[in-house]
Amino acid sequence: MQASAKARLANLATNLGALLLFVPSGAVLWDVGLLMGACNLLGGYLGARTAVARGARFVRVFFILVVSAFVVRIGGGVLGLW
């Protein structure tokens, strides 16, 4: 819990730093950023509810499946399969 809170604070700090750098130059795509933020909030909410409802075993299996898919995707890209 404490590590998650510290990670959120670090994320907030880097996001604010990026905004301070890019807003004055007009390099922020507000519509895309706000849509991504809204989807991030919705995904976090649904993910937390699913984790509480289905338990640690479901989260563990889902995590392993997603990481395995990333390994296959990245490995296939490195090997030139796609």
Q: What is the pTM of this model?
A: 0.68
Per-residue confidence at 3, pLDDT binned at 50, 70, 90? confident
Tokens of 17: 């730093």
Per-residue confidence at 7, pLDDT binned at 50, 70, 90? very high
pLDDT at position 82, please? 85
More confident residue, 51 or 1: 51
Give just the sign of the alpha carbon dihedral 2, 71, 63, 66.
Answer: positive
pLDDT digits (tens, 9 = 90+) for 8-55: 899 999 999 999 999 999 999 999 999 999 999 999 999 999 999 999
Tokens of 56: 């640690």
Tokens of 19: 């905004």
> How many Å apart are CA 32 and CA 50, to the nearest integer?
26
Cβ–Cβ < 8 Å for 76, 70: no
The radius of gyration of the chain's CA atoms, rounded to the nearest angstrom, is 17
pLDDT at position 36, please? 95
